[in-house]
Amino acid sequence: LRDLNVRTAWNDAGGAARARELFTTSFGGVPEGVWAAPGRVNIVGEHTDYNGGLALPIALPHRTFVAVSPRTDRVLRLVSSVADGVVEVDLDAVGPAGTPAEVRGWPSYVAGVGWALEQAGLASALPGLDVAVVSCVPTGSGLSSSAALECSVAVAWDELAGLGLAGRAAAPSDPGRSRLVEACVRAENDIAGAPTGGMDQAASLRARAGHALLLDCRDGGAEHVPFDLAASGLELLVIDTRAEHSHAGGEYGQRRATCEAAVRLLAAPDLRAVADATRAGQTSLEDVLPRLADDEQRRRVRHVVTEIDRVRALVHLLRDESDDRLRGRSLDEAGRLLNASHDSLREDYEVSSPELDLAVETARRTGAHGARMTGGGFGGSAIALVDDDAVETVIRAVDDAFDGAGLRAPGFLRAVASPPAGRVG
Ligand code: GAF
């Protein structure tokens, strides 16, 4: 596989050394510390977070590393291994996207976290920072590189300013981390101007190694569901189509607005309430859908309601296995749920892309038990549930299919449920 684009994750020591080196060459001296935060893949539960629904992400072993020193003033000096030069931002001059004080580009994800921590009253006047950023989370690939950046900075500021929210590595504080999640989401919504939900930041800050994070996006609750595919002889293969996506563009926001309009028509608190009512047998999609404005709205709602059910069903399968293994009928059913999720996202929610469909179809055809797009869509990445001895076959087949279709060579990552954000050096 050496000739193919398989992206291995850096280990903590390697990532920290890279970040320190960039810090020293950019600012001189040594940083006070290095913090890291993971990207994520969502196993199932897509476009449910902003509908008060359920999602089931894992943290990736691929992380963003920030080498940081606090400053005595309110200035941020930021450097990234993938951007030119040092950017300076005055923390007292940061304002929402679309106003004269907006911060442009990637620095908005860093400055936004400071702004949001102060707005929420979690910090009074944060110190400025010198920050050097390096990452092995592919950017623009639907693997939450922006959340990884926000969350790595959040845990760094948390410790350097003595906020005490993240807790110690051995004893992470979930309530405190939930406050950090909220700040990172506000940074992304208000300062970077991307109207996303909170799944990505929650995965990066609240996930656990060896577990998927069952997120209840209505009340912020989280449960850790054992997710050790290796024990079942399986792998979760991530296929990065390298068709770039962005959620600051209009399509994501349009989906969100359509759901909000549907909720108003149904006089429901959110689409989660509709999902819960159909599950409890108090109503059914046959009753609900005719009350909506048009076919498009009906399809969007059908996706969200059925997707919430798919999260419940997959969690049930994962928990049902007394020895935490997926095999036989449970494995078939898990694959069927992933496939149904993709088909619903493609047909009803209309957020897939030709590249994602090709990746998914090829993986299914060459042995995956199930495959689907992951993340917001419109490009980005797909996941495939594959026997560990079939991974190479699927990788080669997808690479060939992309070549045959005249597309850029895709990237591949092996997803293992990994630890959340924290200090690494
Ligand atoms: C993107 C968003 F950032 C998440 O909040 C979520 O809505 C996801 O798309 C779709 O499930 O990753």
pLDDT band at 168 (very low <50, low <70, confident <90, very high): confident
320: pLDDT confidence band, cut at 50, 70 and 90?
Answer: confident
The pLDDT score that the predictor gives to residue 360 is: 98
Tell me the average pLDDT across 302-319: 97
Cα of 142 vs centre of ligand 1, distance in Å, is: 9
Mean pLDDT of 226-248: 89
Of residues 336 and 2, which shows the higher confidence score? Answer: 336
Best mutation site among 145, 150, 196 for ligand 1 pocket (most ligand atoms within 8 Å of CB): 196
Query: What pLDDT is stored for residue 326 in this prediction?
Result: 87
Average pLDDT, the chain: 96
Contact of 95 with 101, CB cutoff 8 Å: yes
How confident is residue 247, by pLDDT bands cut at 50, 70 and 90? low
In testing the pocket of ligand 1, which one of 41, 42, 46, 49 has its CB within 8 Å of the most ligand atoms?
49
Going by pLDDT thresholds of 50, 70 and 90, the confidence category of residue 323 is low
Q: How far is the CA of 329 from the centre of ligand 1 (A)?
A: 30
Atom number of ligand 1 nearest to Cα 147:
3
The per-residue pLDDT for 327 is: 87
Residue nearest to atom 3 of ligand 1 (CA): 196
Q: Name all residues whose Cβ lies below 6 A of ligand 1.
A: 42, 46-47, 49-50, 196-197, 199-200, 247, 375-376
Residues serving a catalytic function are 200
**pLDDT at residue 412, as a whole number:** 98
Q: What is the mean pLDDT of residues 87-115?
A: 96
- Does residue 1 surpass a pLDDT of 80? no
Task: Assess whether pLDDT exceeds 90 at residue 248.
Answer: no
Q: How far is the CA of 201 from the centre of ligand 1 (A)?
A: 10
| Average pLDDT score over residue span 294-298 | 98
The token pair that represents 170 in the structure block: 């051995």
Q: Quote the pLDDT of residue 4.
A: 87
- Atom number in ligand 1 closest to CA 45: 11
* Percentage of residues in the chain having pLDDT higher than 90: 93
* Mean of pLDDT values over 213-223: 97
Q: Residue 139 C-alpha to ligand 1 middle, in angstroms?
A: 15
Ligand 1 site-directed mutation target among 109, 189, 200, 341, most atoms within 8 Å of CB: 200
**324 confidence band (pLDDT: 50, 70, 90):** low
Print the SS3 string covering the chain: CCCCCECCCCCHHHHHHHHHHHHHHHHCCCCCEEEEEEEEEECCCCCCHHHCCEECEEEEEEEEEEEEEECCCCEEEEEECCCCCCEEEEHHHCCCCCCCCCCCCCHHHHHHHHHHHHHCCCCCCCCCEEEEEEECCCCCCCCCHHHHHHHHHHHHHHHHCCCCCCEECCEECHHHHHHHHHHHHHHHHHHCCCCCCCHHHHHHHHCCCCEEEEEECCCCEEEEEECCHHHHCEEEEEEECCCCCCCCCHHHHHHHHHHHHHHHHHCCCCHHHHHHHHHCCCCCHHHHHHHCCCHHHHHHHHHHHHHHHHHHHHHHHHHHCCCCCCCHHHHHHHHHHHHHHHHHHHHCCCCCCHHHHHHHHHHHHCCCCEEEEECCCCCCEEEEEEEHHHHHHHHHHHHHHHHHCCCCCCEEEEECCCCCCEECC
**Rounded mean pLDDT of 245-269?**
90
Instruction: Give the per-residue pLDDT at 244.
Output: 77
Distance from residue 253's CA to the centre of ligand 1 (Å):
11
Mean pLDDT of the region 60-87:
98
Confidence (pLDDT) at 70: 98
Q: Give this prediction's pTM.
A: 0.97
